[in-house]
Structure 1
Amino acid sequence: MIKRFVIAFVLLVLIVGGLVGYNLFRDRMIRQFFANMPVQPVPVSTVVLEPTSWTPTIEAIGTVSAINGVDLTVEVSGIVSHIGFEANDHVEKGAVLVQLDDAIERAELAAAEARANLDQTSLRRAIELQRREVGTDVNVDSARAAAQVSAAAVEKARAALDQKQIRAPFSGVIGIPKVVLGQYITPGTIVATLQDLTTMRVDFTVPEQSFYLLEIGQPVRLGADGADGTPHTGIVRGIDPKIDPSSRLANVRAEVANPDGRLTPGQFTQVHVVMPEEGDVLTLPQTAVVTSLYGDHVYVVRPSDEGGEGVGEADADTGEAAALVVRQVFVKTGRRSGDMVEILDGLSAGDRVVTAGQNRLSNGAPVTLAEEGTQGAGGTAQAVMQ
């Protein structure tokens, strides 16, 4: 009985020992396999950092309005008898847009004119009698005063009659009618909006730091594109000489031509006040810069031995291209514009910088060039003043 137990125990030890030994051997072989397996290079997109021209801009958000725009209202009450426009008509200055019933005013004008004619006749008769030395100076003065009063009454009646008409104060595009025929309207009722869309103004604010960079006549570029795809351009027309103490912002007004009518009063738009161009500025796409808790950094492609003069140059002995790796380099960034950022420190001209695929990289990782580019060659970057 004891002999059988010993044999069973020995067999169990052999089986367990074999399983444990097999697992240890397997793990060791797996580790050796991965340790000796070459790391596959990561394909990355890169650009060669080169000096470029840089046009600084002051960016803001502005509100567009017509240089001449008004909501037309009535001055007196009355019943609408005629509407002389339709929505989106182009009307000329002085055109009658809305006519109110003016029968009473016309009658009052006719009465005032008749009274004025009678007073003028009486004045001429009094002057003639005075010339014949029959009338007195008092009669002439009284007749002259009565004639002046009646003439003023005529002007008052004509003004009241004119108030029954709404005329276009300037040429422009009229909006949707807000009244209908036969409607009784009171003073202050809005009839329609009239906008001159040929020239627009854009009101925006800039921070206190940029206030002293502004000048009257500086070029302005809007974010909204014209009909041909080009942005609308204009100039700075006005700068408030006061900075708001609560917001630390200054009000600025630009004037922009709108020949294609794409700009609409009331819309908001991006405003770029263009500053003088600068040269020899290093810029990169913003996708190349990685932001972390330790600062901004980029990945620069270099030969694996760090001794080559260029990236990917052929080896003198084998004729094969040298292996490439990436090095993490911390940089100091400056102004930004669109998808570009200014590099102030950390890189130099000629560095090849990774622009895509950084999430798969680490310091010293091997890479291959998926595509090549040159940042700054033959291009002009736009900068934002911050």
Structure 2
Amino acid sequence: MSKPVKSILILVAVVAVGYLLYSKIFAGEDAAPAASGRGGGGPMVQRVAVDVFVVSPSAYQNKITTTGTVLPNEEVELRSEIAGRVTSINFKEGTRVQKGQLLVTVNDAELRAQLQKLESNQKLYRDMEERQRTLLKKEYISAQEYDQVSNQLATATADIQALKATLAKAYIRAPFDGVIGLRQVSEGSYVSATTPITRIVDISPVKIDFAIPGRYSQQVKAGDKITFTVEGNPKVYDASVYAVQPGIDPTTRTLQVRALFDNKNEEVKPGAFVSVALSLQNSDDAILIPTESIIPEATGHKIYLAKNGKAVPQMVKIGQRSETLIQIVEGVAPGDTIIRSGIMQLRDGSNLNIRKVQKADEPETTAQQPAAKE
């Protein structure tokens, strides 16, 4: 073999060996991290540090708190049904009046004159009817002639009744027992059907008008007890529900309720703003969890459960709430472990590092974590 050919073969062999060594070195470097990940010898996957709450049944007083308004038992604005001049005012502002009591008189002179005229005509037609009836019995006149006079008498009588009804409108009387308000007219004022004269209200008892969420519509009924306080007054009053709206308002999704308070001392005034507490059926095995565990969503409310060291989302249906606890009526069972902190860092399936565990009616305890392997 010639010397040039031998040199070329040696060069090719050196290049091939160099390529193999290069591939071996760099392939090993790339494989090392992969092997490290598969073998589990790498760093521990990051966990979310959380506190948890273990659910257990608790006694709970189901109470709805809301706001409302005081309404009078009865209230009406007095107006005259006929137009005319006020001739007398027979009440003092702010005093009690009795049903049927005469309050205001509108000029009735013209109506009385018309009534006197009609009553005179009625007497005349009655005398004529009596004579015609006697003649009819003796067959001196026809039945048709008698009917004409009889019809005149009936017409006169009807006219008198109509005028008396109109005349009665000139005397404005109290429609019920109550307290008369401030008058808006004076004697000599001209009034019509659009002129307000005064108001009369019955404030013993008064009505407490309030609304509750529609989801409690099956739990409230006539006879239920409420307590309420009036704005600016710490005194607590007791009242009883007497009426419930038959349907839920489709706009506000609330149910209108009214209670009755006797108000014997007339200390609660109509129009006052009140805070109302309505007690519903108490429960001995309610599910209560910390309020901070709830995550509001467009479709409802969500919580995270701690199961096998991972975060598991769960949709729930909520009930009443206090400052620290909220009632869960659907979606959680006794023994479930609820995540109450670190919620913003959680994702479905997040690994958990449980720091503190709390049970209902028990103080928090620090969770014992397994020692890390070196």
Correspondence for 1:266 among 271, 276, 283: 271
What secondary structure is seen at the aligned counterpart in 2 of 1:109? helix
- The 5 A counterparts of 1:160-309 are 160-224=166-230, 229-241=235-247, 243-279=248-284
What TM-score, normalized by structure 2, do the two folds share? 0.61
Moved over 6 A (4+): 225-228, 280-283, 289-294
d(CA) in 2 for partners of 1:334, 1:112: 72
Partner of 2:355: none
Deviation at 1:164, TM superposition (A): 0.9
Q: Please give the alpha-carbon distance, in whole angstroms, between the structure 1 residues aligned to 2:81 and 2:112.
A: 17
Match status 1:74 vs 2:75: no
Using the TM superposition, give the Cα deviation of residue 96 of structure 1 relative to its aligned residue in structure 2, in angstroms. 0.7
Query: In the alignment, residue 253 of structure 1 is paired with which amino acid?
Result: R
Shift of 1:235: 1.6
Aligned match for 1:122, one of 125, 128, 144? 128
Give the Cα–Cα distance (whole angstroms) in 2 for the partners of residues 135 and 292 of structure 1. 102
Structure 1 residues not aligned, in runs of 5+: 1-50, 284-288, 295-332, 353-362, 364-386
1:216–1:239 Cα contact (<8 Å) kept: no
> Residues 270-294 of structure 1: CA distance to partner in whole angstroms, max 9, x if unpaired?
22222133458899xxxxx997999
What are the ranges of 5 or more consecutive residues in structure 2 without an aligned counterpart? 1-56, 296-317, 328-337, 339-357, 367-374
**What secondary structure sits across from 2:204 in the alignment?**
strand
The answer to whether 1:349 aligns with 2:361 is: yes
- Structure 1 Cα separation of the partners of residues 117 and 215 of structure 2: 67
Aligned-pair CA distance for 1:214: 2.0
In 1, the alpha carbon distance for the partners of 2:239 and 2:278 equals: 10
Is the Cα contact below 8 Å between 2:58 and 2:285 reproduced in 1? yes
In the TM superposition, what is the alpha-carbon distance from 1:173 to its structure 2 partner? 0.6
Give the 3 Å change call, closer, same or farther, for CA 334–78 of structure 1 in structure 2: closer
**Deviation of residue 190 (structure 1)?**
1.1
Q: Residues 290 and 279 from structure 1, CA distance in 2 versus in 1: closer, same or farther, beyond 3 angstroms?
A: closer
1:308 alignment counterpart: none
> Does 1:58 pair with 2:64?
yes
Q: How far apart, CA to CA, are the structure 2 residues paired with 1:215 and 1:270?
A: 19
Pick from 131, 137, 141: which aligns with 1:135? 141
Aligned with residue 165 of structure 2, among 149, 159, 164: 159
What RMSD, in angstroms, separates the aligned Cα atoms of the two structures? 3.4
TM-score (norm 1): 0.59
State the shift of 1:104 in Å. Answer: 0.5
Cα pair distance change 1:348/1:250, threshold 3 Å: closer
| Counterpart AA for 1:213 | Q
The letter for the 2-side match of 1:109 is L
Per the alignment, residue 103 of structure 1 pairs with: 109
Which structure has the greater CA radius of gyration? 2
CA contact (8 A) 2:85 2:188 kept: yes
Deviations 1:94-151 (A, max 9, x none): 0011111111011111111111111111111111111122122112211111111100
